[in-house]
Chain A
Amino acid sequence: MPAIFKSNLNLLVTGYGCCKQDIFAVQGALYDIQRFCINFVNTPEDADLLVVQGFYNKEGITRVLNIYERMSNPRGVIAVGTCVLNKNLFSKDSKLLDWFRSVVKIYMYVPGCPPRPEAFIYAVLRILDES
């Protein structure tokens, strides 16, 4: 029974950035993430995992934190791409992102600019195995 509970993750992709199209390419028939029972949703209440990617300003980070608070049963946060890992590509100061990383615990980092779809699938499967 615990093995059954582990499966069936709902992902919510937030943010605004170029990693998004490679994350969504995972839905296609070539990569097909749904064979692992992983779905994409667009309401925070249904989501288990939050995927954070792309460029953020103050407004954007406030919205992501708002979404994170609305998630009823969060299993973790995945950070995708160099912009969230290190610093924004087009902005020199990384104060805002440092603060964000200190507020929210990020379970998995997917490096790459942008990462390939296989890398994203690998990260999600690692979370499935570890939890």
Chain B
Amino acid sequence: MDNNNNKTYPLPGVVFREEMKSDLEFILKDKVDRITGTGFDLLIELPPENLYVVVKELKENPRLRANIFGGMNACKNNKRNFLLINLRSAYNDLSVLLKMEMQNDDIETGYIEAANILEEFYKAAAFYKRTSRIARCDFNIEIPPGILDGLDCFDINIYADEDKVKEAYIDTCVSRVLDYEFYRDMKIYNLIAIINRFDWKAGIFPELCLCSAIEKLLQLKPTKRARYIRMLLCELYRISNHIYFILNICNILQYDIAYSMCHLERERVLGLIETITGSRVAPNFIRIGGVKKNIEEETLADIRKNLPLLFENIRKIEKIMTEDFLIIERLKNIGIISKDTALEYGVTGPNLRASGARNDLRKDNDFISYGDLSFTTPVGREGDCLERVIIRFREIFQSLRLVNQIINNFPEGDYIKKINLPHLEFQPGAISQDIECPHGIFKIYMEVGEKDIDSLVIKGPSMNSLILGGEIIKGESLEDIDLILMSLDISPGEIMNTQYKTEY
């Protein structure tokens, strides 16, 4: 397991996936309808009554050992209703999507049944069961949604003995604001304009994910300049997101001096982003085949001027935070996540890296052109709150290094390959795309018809962090709850979920 997770260079993915597909076809011969390869994952279509057998096979077969539960999403539109379950394996590169077609309108009951079945195999699936709050009245503290960004999308019910948390239940009823078919009657360029709200701490990543999925479907490769502009924006947004994370940690710690320094640095990065995209948090900048606008030489000079200042100031913040013994005492040894727990709950990104697993999609499965640049993936050891803060600082420095390399080797050429979007015709099929966003692996699964998108499932990494957060606050004291949940860097936009049609 260690060998596979600590790898720096990936296996030849495509060959492996074909091999895995033939294996799966052999193992699950008569239990499933069809197995197809989408972009990143294998899509297994199966009838709902076979779910138990298939999941058991996937979990317990020594060749597959799918031990990571990625998540569960329901999709409902006028054409089809289905449930999508994501399972991964830490031992090999297996990543499967189980798709279950449902009959009309019973998708909500099917959802609960599937969650009940999955709970036997994966602990994290218990979160998806809709238990009514009235039935669980054994809690004695109810914490309403907080004010800070990241703690405002759920409420926690706690059973506490003295000041130690014994039992915790996270309810995300506030953030169920989506319609099932919000993308219907929407053109693709409209969808690109609003999809960045699914991760509003770093808005570029959902756009990039959607556009690269469509590009993969069209077999279109953007020009080198466009790819470099995309990388530049990705890294700037990553820096901005991580500074925002540290700002929120400082706010909870009431550490005012670093709080206001972080505000200044974040404004500096957002200013750079604004000169490129024209917007602070909702960029709407990535287009299919390239980007919206070219980057002028003056903008590059502006970034070049600001980089040393950013480096200096963030170094200063890091120094005053990591050399203060009060902060270290406060953050150390609380909210410890071991590597196995993190993998089991499907946590990705910096939270997983802080627990000691080397897992970076930028290295493993290069989605833009990170292969041209040199950077390292910081990996922590302890997995406590302090480690998660330190790993963000180290990622900021790596991102600054990347930005420096990008603006020094900025290629000439076109910034977009022009395509005729209204007359675009797709080959009908399913596609899934993963991307390394600042919180983890952002996943989009979509099925396209001939002209437009039929069904779309968006799954952010913060959901897994939140489920794990509900687990690890058990046994901690009451005053650390905010700190632990904030140190998981939950992006509220990714928690956004579909509304209940029926009251439970």
Contact = CB atoms under 8 A, between A and B. Distances in A.
Chain A–chain B contact at Cβ < 8 A: yes
Interface of A: 13, 15-18, 20-22, 24-25, 27-30, 42, 55-57, 59-60, 63, 88-92, 113-114, 116
Contacts of A114: 280-282
B139 interface: no
B197 interface: yes
B133 to A, nearest CB: 11
A116 B278 CA distance: 11
A92 B201 CA distance: 24
Lowest 3 A-B CB distances belong to which pairs?
Answer: A28-B263, A18-B200, A55-B177
Interface of B: 144-145, 147, 149, 152-153, 173-179, 182, 194, 197, 200-201, 244, 260, 263-264, 266-267, 270, 280-282, 492-493, 496, 499
19 contacts: A16-B152, A16-B153, A18-B200, A18-B281, A18-B282, A18-B493, A22-B280, A22-B281, A24-B149, A25-B266, A27-B263, A28-B263, A56-B177, A57-B176, A88-B177, A90-B178, A90-B182, A91-B182, A92-B179
Contacts of B179: 90-92
Contacts of A27: 263
Contacts of A89: 194, 197
B183 to A, nearest CB: 9
Contact of A57 (B145, B174, B263): B174
A16 B260 contact: no
A116 B499 CA distance: 29
Nearest to A56: B177
A42 B267 contact: no
Contacts of A15: 152
Contact of A29 (B175, B194, B260): B260
A19 to B, nearest CB: 9
Given A59-B174, A60-B177, A88-B177, 11 more contacts: A16-B153, A18-B282, A25-B263, A25-B266, A28-B267, A29-B264, A57-B176, A57-B499, A59-B173, A89-B197, A113-B282
A30 B267 contact: yes
